[in-house]
Amino acid sequence: MSDPRELLAGLRADLSDANYTVDGIGALIGDVAHAALDREQALPALRATAGSKDPAAVLLRVGTLGRTVIRADLDAALPRTGTAGAEFLGLVRAAGQGADDEVKPLVDLRPYSVDDAKGMAHWWLVSDLGEVATGEVLSSDHVLGVGGASLTLASATVRTPVDRVLDIGTGCGIQALHASRHARRVTATDTSERALDLAAVNAALNEVALDLRHGSLLDPVEAGEEFGLVVSNPPFVITPRTEGVPTYEYRDGGMPGDSLVAQLIGKVGHVLAPGGVAQLLGNWELHDGESWSQRVEGWLEGTGLDAWVVQREVADPALYAETWIRDGGQKAGPRFDELYGAWLDDFAARGVTGVGFGVVTVRRPAREGAPLRRFEENLAALSDPLGEIFATGLAVHDALAGLHDLGDLTLTVAGDVTDERFHTPGDPDPRIVLLRQGGGLRRVAQVDGDLAGLVGACDGELTVGQITAGLAVLGDEAVGDVRSRLYPRVRDLVADGFLRLPS
């Protein structure tokens, strides 16, 4: 049999020739079926490809939808690789050598596209077949493909070029592939040997070099190693440590409650280079008498790290339990109820009233001074990608930290900002003025008339001092009073991205 590297090169060429890409599949099955597939609903795509011998249709059915195809059709779809080569690579299993013999998928093989600062890239990702394809409960060593959490982290990641990146809990390797676009070297770790095997396949299939290491969290990092960026979609799911409750390597770190995320946040600074950034997803328990931000801030105590945390979702204990029990492929019935009870008992024992989910960005500051502490809740739909928002926000924080007088600044209004004015009927002046971001974190700021006037005058020519002096004349106030009232709010609007510093 051929060398695996040669087979993967042939497979890569076959997949490309078949137009087995995100756009190619969209054109093949149409927008409705494609959108349904994104929601893990296979039927529209199955109907759209039924009876088709188009190579992309054959590959979609066997690679993504988890259906059997006949050997002759797969041979035609993969002329260089053939069914024999796909079998050798562990992708499929054929019932026999006959042209009409059935070929069964063993893994999920699907296209993935990225559009970043370096342009478009088209990859193919191998992972384990999901519950949609198998209809069965997942195995404990299941390796997840690209899910919602993966996309959230990929969107949020700062893509500033760095020398080295560490991907903790790499899974199928998707974050490591992204990082390879802006790093000289990428190290990826996981506790799952199977995940590392599939990450190696994906790296080879997509011609990306990865340094893959086995171990938990930061254990595989050698003494003295530092990274300009650390990313992690860790196994953060809060799971009862009760006999009979299944654990899954891709989501369960084996620690009680939210302690795994707490440990990672507390220790990740040890492997960051000066100025280095770590970004991770996480869950945190909510308790009466303690805000979510207080809980996460407690994990940061003593680290000296800058921190910017955005809470994206909140689930009550029952909803959280239902979500993750279904995620493992468990259907409604006595076993579902048994697991449900275990989850609710676990939460009740610790007084958990809910669970938050969000994106944590921390940085090892390269400067002296009090660390950044920024906590915000944003449950609305956000604009992708967010990495540039975080990168810009950190840079703006640094600029403002050394700036005590805003008067000489010439600011401009960010291009996505609009204002909304609400009037009481018959009143010529607005009762409420809202500044609204059209992109990024889509923040909304309520401002008074003076601040709205200041923002409107920020054209990049007048300084903040000149604008406030004019407002003082119009309002018959002392300039110092206007500045003391508005300057803190202007600083907040700059920090939040409504107003931009001069470049």
pLDDT digits (tens, 9 = 90+) for 98-122: 999 999 999 999 999 998 878 889 9
Integer Cα distance of 425 and 123 in angstroms: 57
Residue 61 reports pLDDT greater than 90:
yes
Same domain, 85 and 157: no
Q: Which two tokens stand for residue 390?
A: 């975080």
Domain edge (last residue) among 83, 106, 129: 106
- Same domain assignment for residues 149 and 78: no
Over residues 130-146, the mean pLDDT reads 88
Kindly state whether residues 194 and 146 are assigned to the same domain: yes
- pLDDT of residue 1 exceeding 60, the answer is no
- Separation between Cα atoms, residue 232 and residue 174, nearest integer Å: 11
pLDDT value of residue 404: 86
Q: Which of 87, 106, 125 is the last residue of a domain?
A: 106
Mean pLDDT of 371-380: 94
Edge-to-edge strand order for the sheet containing 352-363?
A: 211-214, 183-190, 162-168, 227-232, 272-287, 352-363, 306-315, 373-377
CB atoms within 10 A of CB 39: 9
For position 202, which CATH number holds?
3.40.50.150
Which of 398, 424, 449 delimits the end of a domain? 398
> Does 114 fall in a domain?
no
Q: Are residues 46 and 193 in the same domain?
A: no
Classify 356 as helix, strand or coil: strand
Burial bucket for residue 492 (CB in 10 Å: 0-12, 13-18, 19+): middle
Q: Does residue 117 lie within any of the structural domains?
A: no
The answer as to whether 120 is a domain residue is no
Amino acid, single-letter form, for residue 323: T
Tokens at residue 44, please?
């529209």
Identify the three-state secondary structure at position 76.
helix
Q: Half-sphere exposure of residue 27, counting CA atoms within 13 Å on the CB side?
A: 9
Amino acid at 51: G
Backbone phi, psi, residue 190, to 5°: -165, 155
Cα gap 330→353, rounded to integer Å:
24
- Tokens (6 digits) for 361: 């960005």
- For 274-333, write each residue's pLDDT tens digit: 999 999 999 999 999 999 999 999 999 999 999 999 999 999 999 999 999 999 889 999
Same domain, 417 and 394: no
* pLDDT tens figures, 20-52: 999 999 999 999 999 999 898 999 999 999 999
> What pTM value is reported for the model?
0.94
Question: Considering the domain boundaries, does residue 488 fall inside one?
Answer: yes
Dihedral, 205, 207, 208, 210 alpha carbons, nearest 10: 60
Encoded tokens for 421: 């004015």
- SS3 category, 469: helix
Residue 132 counted as domain residue: no
Structurally, the chain folds into a number of domains equal to 3
**Above 80 in pLDDT, residue 132?**
no
Give the pLDDT confidence score for residue 72 in this predicted structure: 98
Tell whether 470 is covered by a domain.
yes
Do residues 244 and 304 share a domain?
yes
Identify whether 425 is part of a domain.
yes
Q: Are residues 367 and 231 in the same domain?
A: yes
Structure tokens at 371: 């660390």
**Other CB atoms within 10 Å distance of the CB of residue 313:** 14
| 148 and 17 co-located in one domain | no
Domain that holds residue 82: 4-106
Mean per-residue pLDDT for 399-408? 91
Give me the amino acid identity at 269.
G
Residue 96 has pLDDT above 60, yes or no: yes
Domain assignment of residue 357, yes or no: yes
| Residue 41 per-residue DSSP state | -
Predicted confidence at residue 481, as pLDDT, reads: 96
CATH number for the domain that contains residue 450:
1.10.10
Residues 335, 203 share a domain: yes
Whether 370 and 346 map to the same domain: the answer is: yes
Instruction: Give the pLDDT confidence of 157-168 residue by residue, as tens digits.
Output: 999 999 999 999
Q: Are residues 328 and 188 in the same domain?
A: yes
Say yes or no to pLDDT of 384 above 60. Answer: yes
Q: Say if residue 329 is in the same domain as residue 302.
A: yes
* Consecutive H or E run containing 468: helix 464-475
